Structure 1
Amino acid sequence: MLQTRGRKRCVWGVRTAWNTVGDGEFFCPDCGGDRNYRRRTGRRRFTVLGIPLVARGDVGPVVECAACQAHFGTEALDHPTTVRFAAMLRDAVHTVALAVLAAGGTSSRTVRVTAVRAVRAAGFDDCTEDRLTTLIDALSADAGRLPGAYEGASDPCGAALAIELHEALEPLAPHLAPAGRESILLQGARIALADGPYSPAEREVLTIVGGALLIRPEDTARLLTSARTPS
């Protein structure tokens, strides 16, 4: 170390030279919100008096928050931004509502109203009964997508409909607390129960919803039972 006007100056050390290879928006764990990021790689060099001399290996890649400059592993990009998370949650509730309506039918106005309320609460403010029934009619025209589409089918839920449930729910589930996953299932259950007990097709759809949300089968069964028990 050298002494310079009462301050210590480092004679040698290791410095990292960073290079930006990409950018975008992510959820910063330190800031607690959506921020811009830079994806960066670096190269360490041994320095003497601030002069880089010997390469000491590569660093990264890392994700650097443009706001707080904190560095994170690239797995930080797996977490959805708050905007993306809200959209995923909205789409999940909408898909579950459609699946339950497809299973139980739309003849009951109580069921339709319950579904509209759930979808609106999730963020589709302009959802109406007519819009939901129009979507169900469109699904009905697509053979194999609705429960019971084929008499005696071994997959009464409809393979395509089951796939849509998994595609909407599985990416969201790891980012939800257990109570959040259960809430989505219970919203579907309340729609199904609005006109009476579960039909076999409704129960099957809700069982698929529970599985896609990473809820254990026994917990799914418990929640579906508790949903139909008067409080």
Structure 2
Amino acid sequence: MHTAWDTIGDGEFFCPACGGDRNYQRLTGRRRFVVLGMPLVPRGCAGPVIRCTACQDLFDPDVLDHPTTTRLSAMLRDAVHTVVLAVLSTGGTGSRSTLDTAVATLRAAGHDDCTEERLVALVDALAADTGRATEPDCGPGLAIELHEALGPLAPHLAPAGREALLLQGARIALADGPYTPAERDVLSTAGCALTICSEDVARLLVAARTPS
């Protein structure tokens, strides 16, 4: 059996065989039965498949569901940013220690230009835009933002990575003292969006109180 492949598309993907971002070709094929070395009798279509241009391995199209390393890094930066803003939206901008922890967390995540002033202005603008300042806890708008930012990322993070993201938010909440009910509500919503069960969320909120 011989398969003649045609290229119908290309792009960049995360190659499981190479272990990194590579270019790919999307292929469809036509199978022919080989007689004396000559492909003669049609035997139907093959594919589509994804071929890595580096290692030449073939994969099912669902390999493209995995984000590239570059895209995954961007998703993680956005997720940290969303969690930080969510925690601060519960009233954390009034505490210098909370703001210091939030800025340090964002800079470590790749937001190098983050400052306290910019962070406060952004939280205030979001509160004015959504009416969040009048919400006593994690309102529907904030919950949607958390699920939109964290939901697509969660399947691509190991359990330790999802827990680390939640712990970052928890440590910001604890920077000015014990959790408030609003902070617990926001962190529980973030944990749900990260597909962390409620028992593990409770465990992590306790663990965040212990200095590392």
Is the TM-score greater than 0.5? yes
1:66-120 Cα deviation digits (max 9, x unpaired) = 1111000111101110000100011100100000000133011110010011111
Which of the numbers 24, 27, 33 marks the counterpart of 1:46?
Answer: 33
Give the TM-score, by structure 2 length: 0.96
- Distance in 2, matches of 1:64 and 1:229, equals 48
- Cα contact 2:92–2:99 (8 A) shared by 1: no
1:48 Cα offset (Å): 1.9
Runs (5+) with no aligned partner, structure 1: 1-13
Query: In the alignment, does 2:164 pair up with 1:183?
Result: yes
Equivalent runs, 1:199-214 vs 2, <5 Å: 199-214=180-195
The equivalent of 1:110 in structure 2 is: 97
1:161 Cα offset (Å): 1.2
- Cα contact 1:15–1:52 (8 A) shared by 2: yes
- Cα contact 2:5–2:28 (8 A) shared by 1: yes
* Structure with greater helix percent: 2
- Cα contact 1:143–1:149 (8 A) shared by 2: no
1:3-30 Cα deviation digits (max 9, x unpaired) = xxxxxxxxxxx11011111110000011
- Distance in 2, matches of 1:37 and 1:230, equals 46
- Cα contact 2:6–2:27 (8 A) shared by 1: yes
1:61 Cα offset (Å): 0.9
Give the TM-score, by structure 1 length: 0.88
The equivalent of 2:16 in structure 1 is: 29
Which of the numbers 116, 128, 134 marks the counterpart of 2:121?
Answer: 134
1:203-222 Cα deviation digits (max 9, x unpaired) = 00000010001101100011
1:184-223 Cα deviation digits (max 9, x unpaired) = 0000000000000011111000000100011011000111
The equivalent of 1:4 in structure 2 is: none
* SS of residue paired to 2:73: helix
1:150 Cα offset (Å): 4.3
Change (3 A) 1:208 1:106: same
Equivalent runs, 1:1-231 vs 2, <5 Å: 14-144=1-131, 146=132, 149-150=134-135, 156-230=137-211
Superposition CA RMSD, Å? 1.3
- Distance in 2, matches of 1:128 and 1:90, equals 16
Quick one: which amino acid aligns to residue 144 of structure 2?
A: I
Quick one: which amino acid aligns to residue 188 of structure 2?
A: T
Quick one: which amino acid aligns to residue 219 of structure 1?
A: D
Detail structure 1 runs of 4+ shifted over 3 Å in the superposition.
none
- Cα contact 2:130–2:141 (8 A) shared by 1: no
1:157 Cα offset (Å): 1.1
Runs (5+) with no aligned partner, structure 2: none
* SS of residue paired to 1:141: helix
- Distance in 1, matches of 2:91 and 2:49, equals 49
